[in-house]
Amino acid sequence: MGTVGDAANKDTNGSLAEKKPTVVFVLGGPGSGKGTQCANIVQHFGFTHLSAGDLLRAEQKSGSENGTMIQNMIKEGKIVPSEVTIKLLQKAMEESGNDKFLIDGFPRNEENRAAFETVTQIEPAFVLFFDCSEEEMERRLLSRNEGREDDNIETIRKRFKVFLESSLPVIQHYESRGKVRKIDAGRPIEEVFESVKAIFTPKNEKAE
Ligand SMILES: Nc1ncnc2c1ncn2[C@@H]1O[C@H](COP(=O)(O)OP(=O)(O)OP(=O)(O)O)[C@@H](O)[C@H]1O
Ligand SMILES: Nc1ccn([C@@H]2O[C@H](COP(=O)(O)O)[C@@H](O)[C@H]2O)c(=O)n1
Ligand SMILES: [Mg+2]
């Protein structure tokens, strides 16, 4: 697995590529429940959950040279350049010791998608798509109460616009390749997870 813009970084990259990791991209609008369901999947199916948004927030708080840029992009609901996000994802994958990953909130646009494919040579096993109405997502985000700087109505509207214009085309890209597993995410958490479980449970273990 190569690092963005750094073809010489072969040692650490090689070890991850050799593991041939299983990657599931977890996509859906802001507040569709990606993080909530990923936590359940981790408990039941042994994946490591990597939220691109969480990694960017941690990078911002770490005092990194990219901190101010990341903070501004998040406040505006804009997508951070792929180079930054992919480096964070690669590092987290390598440090995890696992070979099964839920990559939540990534790829968010075509640039994210193409760069990850070029740099890592990893194709997702499938894409889990949490489909939810804007009305419901807005309700959830406004009552999330986690102190996120982007959970205000002004930024939420910007995030919805970016989702429609930049993220949905990525889902359509994978849809045309038969890789999308779409879930009705507008239902209660437990009901949504029943549908998620059916996707992750191997066919030979499913009840008749
Ligand atoms: N099915 C659901 N029904 C009602 N509330 C939910 C449901 N799923 C998640 N929530 C709540 O909605 C809020 C957003 O959920 P979550 O953080 O999982 O969404 P997300 O897709 O990761 O959002 P973001 O893209 O902003 O990170 C949380 O407060 C969560 O507890
Ligand atoms: N691939 C990504 C993912 C996220 N961001 C930025 O982080 C914000 C919050 O993301 P959540 O998934 O936690 O909602 C998002 O609005 C973007 O500003 C990104 O740039 N690239
Ligand atoms: Mg989230």
Tens digit of pLDDT for each residue in 27-76?
999 999 999 999 999 999 999 999 999 999 999 999 999 999 999 999 99
Max Cα distance, the chain (Å): 55
| 68 in a structural domain | yes
Please, are residues 102 and 24 in contact by the beta-carbon 8 Å criterion?
A: yes
| 43 in a structural domain | yes
Number of domains in the chain: 1
Indicate the range of 57-61, 92-96, 201-205 predicted with least confidence. 201-205
Please, are residues 80 and 4 in contact by the beta-carbon 8 Å criterion?
A: no
Q: Is the dihedral of CA 91, 25, 110, 80 positive or negative?
A: negative
Please, are residues 155 and 75 in contact by the beta-carbon 8 Å criterion?
A: yes
pLDDT of residue 205: 81
DSSP assigned state of 47: P
Task: Look up the ipTM and state it.
Answer: 0.99
Closest CA to 102 of 72, 125, 119, 86: 125
User: Which residues make up the environment of ion ligand 3, defined by Cβ < 5 Å?
Assistant: 35
DSSP assigned state of 99: S
**Please, what is the end-to-end C-alpha distance for the chain in angstroms?**
40
Closest CA to 127 of 169, 86, 96: 169
| 67 in a structural domain | yes
Tokens of 59: 């990078």
| 149 in a structural domain | yes
pLDDT of residue 11: 44
Q: Is 159 in the pocket of ligand 2 (CB under 6 A)?
A: yes
| 9 in a structural domain | no
Specify binding-site residues for ATP: 31-36, 144, 187
State which ligand 1 atom lies nearest to the alpha carbon of 38: 18
pLDDT of residue 14: 59
| 8 in a structural domain | no
Q: Is 105 in the pocket of ligand 2 (CB under 6 A)?
A: yes
* pLDDT (mean) for 160-184: 98
CATH of the domain at 114: 3.40.50.300
Instruction: Please provide the size of the chain in residues.
Output: 208
pLDDT of residue 16: 65
| 28 in a structural domain | yes
Residue 71: in which H helix or E strand, if any? Answer: helix 67-75
3-state secondary structure of 5: coil
Q: What is the pTM of this model?
A: 0.94
Give residue 20's pLDDT band: very low, low, confident or very high (50, 70, 90).
confident
pLDDT of residue 202: 85
Q: Is the pLDDT of residue 123 over 90?
A: yes
Tell me which residue range forms the domain holding 134.
Answer: 17-197
| 7 in a structural domain | no
